[in-house]
Structure 1
Amino acid sequence: MTEQTNVVIPTSSEERTWAMLAHLSVLINLVTGLLGPVVALVIYLSYKDRSRYVAYHALQSLVLQLVAWVGFGAVTGIMWGIVGALSAILIGLCLIPFACAVTLVPLAVPVYGIVAAIETSQGRDFRYWLIGDWVRSTLEG
């Protein structure tokens, strides 16, 4: 792999394939509920010393999945709890559309993972919004 202006470029198709699989691990969550981050973590641990490109993309995928599934899961649970509690006094009924919108946010994550997988399979660098730069600085530091 070569490095130009803070962008890591893969040198082999194996690196591109493993980076793509790390991003596609988000789809495992649709079937198992929470095993996607485990797959991304295993890929990261396997490649952290062998390929900076694969390690970067696997760690990005891991962080995105933890934020989306665990973070938004907690927010969704809290939101529906508030709706349920306030429904006793009819105010919560007005909040049902907002709770539904919050519930649907994590469903966009697999689409974002597929876009990242396509980009990495073609050898391009991909950064998740707000996560990519943080992960890159973590790996460099």
Structure 2
Amino acid sequence: MSEQVTTSQDERTLAALAHGSILLGLFSNGIGGIVTALVIWAVHRNKSTYVAYHALQALVYQVATFLLTMLAWCCWGLLWTLMILGPMVGNPGAYDTTPPAGLWVGMAFMVVPLGIWALTILYALWGAVRCLGGHEFKVAVIGDWVEAQ
């Protein structure tokens, strides 16, 4: 786990930037980090295998987590809609003054997509810290696939 990698500080910084660029997604609907990792990979794919490997890992990871997070939000939205509309369609007059209980349950379930989103960001930031410190970092599943490319 504490395997040191022999690379220059610039290479470590670029690799960390590729992983850390997931934070740009917070301000760009997830696309900023993907574009940043793609640009770093495109510019350095023939210059540094270390930077190219980490940028490609970050790119694939960010695309995968973007899709996973969107799927989680869509499932949550569908569930929440069903929890609200189901009772309202069945007995619309009962909810003139108070919302259906599903409204509050659905709000509580919002923690699931938010948690997935937060964990994916923290994992990418862990990768950035590992790279910046000169340690090897391989994204689970994705790292092996990128290595085989």
Q: What is the TM-score of this pair, normalised by structure 1?
A: 0.80
Q: Which amino acid in structure 2 is aligned with residue 122 of structure 1? A: G
Q: Could you list the runs of 5+ residues in structure 2 that have no partner in the other structure?
A: 88-100
When the two structures are aligned, how many residues end up with a matched partner? 132
Report the structure number with the largest CA radius of gyration: 2
1:14 is displaced (CA, Å) by 1.3
Runs of 4+ in structure 1 deviating by more than 2 angstroms, as ranges, are 7-11, 85-90, 92-100
* 2:62 match: 65
Instruction: Answer yes or no: is the 8 Å Cα contact 1:10–1:53 preserved in 2.
Output: no
Match among 40, 44, 69 for residue 43 of structure 1: 40
Matching of residue 136 in structure 1 with residue 147 in structure 2? yes
Q: What is the TM-score of this pair, normalised by structure 2?
A: 0.76
Q: Which amino acid in structure 1 is aligned with residue 146 of structure 2? A: V
Q: Could you list the runs of 5+ residues in structure 1 that have no partner in the other structure?
A: 1-6
Instruction: Answer yes or no: is the 8 Å Cα contact 2:44–2:51 preserved in 1.
Output: yes
* 1:21 match: 17
Counterpart CA distance in 2 for 1:31 and 1:99 is 20
Instruction: Answer yes or no: is the 8 Å Cα contact 1:18–1:54 preserved in 2.
Output: yes
Q: Which amino acid in structure 2 is aligned with residue 53 of structure 1? A: Y
Q: Please state which structure has a larger fraction of its residues in strand.
A: 1
Deviates more, 1:104-113 or 1:79-88: 79-88
1:78 is displaced (CA, Å) by 3.0
Which structure ranks higher in relative contact order (CA pairs < 8 Å, sequence separation ≥ 6)? Answer: 2
- Alpha-carbon deviations, 1:81-110, whole Å to 9, x = none? 2320243224x9296244531333112222
1:9 is displaced (CA, Å) by 3.5
Matching of residue 84 in structure 1 with residue 81 in structure 2? yes
Counterpart CA distance in 1 for 2:114 and 2:131 is 29
Match among 106, 127, 132 for residue 116 of structure 1: 127
Distance 1:27 1:66, change over 3 A: same
Q: Which amino acid in structure 1 is aligned with residue 84 of structure 2? A: S
